């Protein structure tokens, strides 16, 4: 089943994309080819092939948290344009109350 320019116009409307008549004519066969390609891939995968999100198995590598020496609050705040109560002072936003 080939996509028509009307099909593409409906999809464009759902996506809130404005397309000219020339674009609809040009995109219809291109999108049809994409759909055919996706369909051919789904035909290859049989019931014995498990669904995966990655080609290779993933495993997370975690390391232990190790406390190491770092700068003091005074050293960190020394380069700040404004500081208050050992914290960076930033401009108030959204008229929030303190």
Q: What is the pLDDT along the chain (98 residues), one digit of tens a residue?
A: 688 999 999 999 999 999 999 999 999 999 999 999 988 877 776 777 777 778 888 888 888 989 999 999 899 999 899 999 989 999 888 766 65
- pLDDT given for residue 27 in this prediction: 94
pTM for this predicted structure: 0.45
In this structure, is residue 73 part of a structural domain? no
Output the domain CATH number for residue 38.
1.10.20
Residue 59 domain flag: no
Task: Report the domain count for the chain.
Answer: 1
Long-range Cβ pairs for the range 4-12 (8 Å, 24+): 4/28
Q: Is residue 85 situated within a structural domain? A: no
Q: Is residue 40 part of a domain?
A: yes
Asked whether residue 77 is assigned to any structural domain, the reply reads: no
* 50-78 pLDDT per residue, tens: 777 788 888 888 889 899 999 998 999 99
CA angle 4, 34, 7 (to 5 degrees): 20
Residue 71 within any structural domain of the chain: no
Task: Decide if 9 is inside a domain.
Answer: yes
Within a domain: residue 27?
Answer: yes
């Amino acid at each position: 089943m080939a996509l028509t320019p009307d099909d593409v116009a409906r999809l464009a409307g759902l996506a809130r994309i404005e397309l000219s008549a020339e674009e609809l004519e040009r995109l219809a066969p291109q999108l049809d080819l994409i759909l055919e390609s996706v369909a051919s891939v789904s035909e290859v995968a049989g019931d014995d092939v498990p669904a995966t999100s990655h080609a290779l198995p993933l495993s997370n590598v975690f390391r232990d948290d190790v406390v190491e020496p770092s700068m003091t609050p005074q050293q960190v705040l020394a380069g700040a344009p404004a500081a208050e109560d050992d914290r960076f002072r930033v401009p108030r936003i959204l008229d929030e109350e303190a």
